[in-house]
Structures are given as structure tokens and as C-alpha cells.
Amino acid sequence: MTVYNVVELYEDKVDDKTKEYLNDFGAIDNPPENLPLMEDVIKKYENGELSGNTTVICVARVRDLYSDSIYNRIENLRYGNQKLHIGKRGGFSYNSSDTLSAYLRPNLLAVLTKGNNRASMRYACGMNSSSRVVVSLKTHPKDISEIEMIRIESVDHNTDCNYRTNQTGDDKFKSAYYAKEDWAVELFNFLKPFGIGIADTLEDAKFSCPSHAYMTKARKLAGDEYTRKYLTAFTLNSCDEELLGNATVSGSLFLKLFAECIDDVDKRNGCDSFSNCLKFNYKERQDLFSVVDPDAKNLSQNDLTEGNGVYKGNEPSIARYVNIYNEYCRIKRLQISGNYETAIPLNGKIWIKFVESAPIWMQGGLLPIAKTKLI
């Protein structure tokens, strides 16, 4: 068997708790009016009043919709994602769902090529098999071979899956922001005081952030206080026009993990040592060292996150922040605790705790990173 009924599969695949939860939802808006019923269209096709290769926009009962697993993923729908989407929207939205696509086969089955999840979600909201969705129904010629029928349907399905332009992170943020989704508006407002814009949503932005996901990650892992401190230092000193994701996450985490050491240096010297450290490394390093090293250069965000494409953890990048911070404090002769050689002691309890939190195979490599000059 390759053809499955959308409603029957939902009943078979979804647990009772989820069914009960989603059953309380309904449609939050209405479908277009004055569209023909799909069963009437099918009757016309059956009676010869409608020829093959015809397209009719109609409204279909969800119980009348099928999908073919030969080319479709009907057996592996992500019902958990359906639940999240329905809960977030507060029900099924015809406006968001738009038009599904199906082919009417000579055996009178309407087989979806686009819209399995949407049909399933409409049924989930209220579990009424007579609930309807808008379908663009294309008729096969009645004398079509099974091989040709599957080929045509597969082409339509493949166009949707493989030739549709995927949304980038920027696209998703922009659409969410202008749709006034809470998370996007809140992130926009968080970044606005720093002049940081995402996807051109902030007029006259001085800085850009290519990944809203990384900014959210920084706030989640390091907290708003330390993310703000990082963004303040970065933007105040105009370190770069673009804030790269991994550098922002690891920089914010550095500030959180080693806050005690950094605060001590600030109090002893009456300064914002981290902000000054970024300014030095991004803006002043080359001029200072070019006298003795003609190849000297300023650091970049990529220097701090080297190798992140291979290992996705933040520990190596955090260790590089420790490196440049300790080196900056040494070069500027900042006062530090007399009991230690560096501002962030590499044999102190805070450093040891940081190392022990890393994967065991990574732990041995963090000390060399923190001790070895980047450039």
C-alpha cells in the first residue's frame, strides 16, 4: 500500500494526549467563499463533464484527501511541529495555509502533492473529518498509465520540495517582525539601542546582525546582562559593521564566566577593561606592534572563532577571549591581584571550573589556546 488517507494516518500516528489538546482548537479565520465543493468536482469528472488536465480551485473535506508515499513523506509527518504551530497561532489559519495542491486520479482519489501537514492540521483542530481546506485540484486523463500518473505528481511535488527558495534567517526574522510576532519585536527592541539591525528592519542601523538565532542564543546562554555588556563594548568602539554570531555568543559567555576576575580589574584600575580590550585588539593593535613587526595586524572576529565550523562548542573561542584579555592587561600594565600572574588566573578555580565543563576530549587543548598569542 502506498496511498494513505490523511485523517486515518493522523488517527493512527498521534497519541491521545495530543489529540485531546488539539481537539479544543478550531479555525481562526474563514476560507474563501463561493468555491465549489471537491465532491461535486469529482462527480463532474466521473460523469465526463470535466476532462483531464483541468485545474479547479475548490474546498475539500479533509477525509477525502490522500497522499502517496512513493514520492511523498506522508508516513513521516512531523506531528510535533504541527502541534507547536497550532498552539502558537491559536488554531488553524486559512490565510496562512493558502492553497493545497492535489491530483484527481481515474479511481477518483484526490492525492495531495503539496499540503499534507496543512490538511492534517485542519483535521487536528476539532477532529472533524468534514472540515475543509482549499485545494487546487488537477485532473488526470482517465486513460493515463500509472507510471505517467506518478511521474506527473512527483514533478509537482518535487517543484515544491526542491525548487522552492528556502527562507534565510534574515527572511524569517523580517516576516516575523512585520507580522508583529512577539519574539521578533522583542529582539528588535533589545538590539535597537545599540543601533543593531537585522534584515534591514531598523532604519539607519549602524550595525548589522546576520543571524537572529545566534543573538537569541547569546541571550539564552549568557543572559541579557552580559550580552548587553558585550554589545555595548562592540558597538561603542565600532569594532566592525557586522556582528558575527559565534563571536557574540562566546564573547558574552566570556563576560559571564569570568565576571569576577573582570570586575576586580575594573575596580582596581577604574576602567571598563573589556571594552578597552576590544578597542585595542580590533582598532589599535596593528599601529602599536607595527613598529617591531611589519606584519602585525588588528584582530578580527574570525580570529577569535577559528575552527568553529569543525567544533560547534564555544569553549575554544572563550579561551581566545581569555588570551586577548590577559594579554591586553599585561601590555597596559593594569593592576591585578598580586597573587596571580595574569588577570584571569590560568590555575585559578574559575578557569579550572570552565575547563572541566568542556567535553573531556577538549579539556587538554584549552590551556594552550589561552596561552598562545593569536597573531
Confidence of residue 291 (pLDDT cuts 50, 70, 90): confident
Residue 336 contacts by C-beta under 8 Å, 6 or more apart in sequence?
264, 265, 268, 329, 342, 343
Contacts of residue 160, defined as CB under 8 A and 6 or more positions apart, other chains included, come to: 101, 113, 114
Q: What's the pLDDT at 81?
A: 87
Q: Evaluate whether residue 180 is within a structural domain.
A: no
Residue 158: Cβ within 10 Å count: 12
Number of Cβ atoms within 10 Å of the Cβ of 80: 10
Task: Give the whole-number percent of the chain exceeding pLDDT 90.
Answer: 71
Q: What is the SS3 string spanning 15-31?
A: CHHHHHHHHCCCECCCC
Angle, vertex CA 314, rays to CA 238 and CA 256, nearest 5:
65
Last residue of a domain, one of 110, 141, 164: 164
pLDDT-based confidence at 375, cuts 50/70/90? low
Whether 188 maps to a domain, the answer reads no
pLDDT at position 94 over 50: yes
Same domain, 18 and 145: yes
- pLDDT 10s digits, 176-216: 787 778 898 999 999 999 999 998 889 899 999 988 999 99
Say how many domains are in the chain: 2
Same domain (yes/no): 142, 226: no
**pLDDT confidence of residue 164:** 43
Q: Is 228 a domain residue?
A: yes
Distance CA 98, CA 77 (A): 19
Task: Note the pLDDT of residue 36.
Answer: 95
244/126 same-domain check: no
Indicate whether this model's pTM tops 0.85: no
Q: Which amino acid is at 57?
A: I
Residues 263 and 325 in one domain: yes
Q: Which residues contact 174 (CB under 8 A, 6 or more apart)?
A: 198, 199, 200, 201
Match 522583542 to its residue by C-alpha cell. 186
The mean pLDDT value for 95-120 works out to 93
Tell whether the model's pLDDT for residue 303 goes beyond 70: yes
Same domain, 269 and 366: yes
> Is residue 355, in this structure, part of any structural domain at all?
yes
In a domain, 279, yes or no: yes
Tell me, letter by letter, the H, E, C secondary structure of 63-91: HHEEEECCCCCHHHCCHHHHHHHHHHHCC
- Is the predicted pLDDT of residue 169 greater than 70, yes or no? no
Secondary structure class of 105 (helix, strand, coil): coil
Residue 294 is placed in which grid cell?
A: 611589519
Which three three-digit cell numbers place residue 331? 601590555
Together in a domain, 149 and 227: no
Is 202 a member of any domain?
no
Is 43 or 155 the better-scoring residue by pLDDT? 43
What's the mean per-residue pLDDT of the chain? Answer: 90
Q: Which of 128, 145, 164 is the last residue of a domain?
A: 164
Indicate whether 57 and 158 sit together in one domain: yes
pLDDT tens profile 308-336: 656 778 999 999 999 999 999 999 999 99
Both 81 and 22 in one domain: the answer is: yes
Distance (Å, whole) CA 269 – CA 263: 10
State in Å, rounded, how far the first CA of the chain is from the last one.
63
From 271, 291, 203, 277, select the one nearest 239 (Cα to Cα). 277
Q: Specify which residues 242 forms β-bridges with.
A: 208
Please check whether residues 271 and 357 belong to one and the same domain: yes
User: Is 63 within a domain?
Assistant: yes
pLDDT at 162: 43
d(CA 375, CA 138): 64
Domain end marker among 137, 164, 191? 164
The sign of the dihedral angle between the CA atoms of 320, 321, 326, 328 is positive
275 and 349 in a single domain? The answer is: yes
Same domain, 232 and 313: yes
On whether the CB atoms of residues 71 and 150 are closer than 8 A, the answer is yes
Say if 64 falls within a structural domain.
yes
Cβ-in-10-Å burial (0-12, 13-18, 19+) of 222 comes to buried
What residues make up the domain containing 100?
Answer: 3-164
pLDDT 10s digits, 14-60: 999 999 999 999 999 998 889 999 999 999 999 999 999 999 999 99
Whether residue 17 is found in the same domain as residue 148: yes
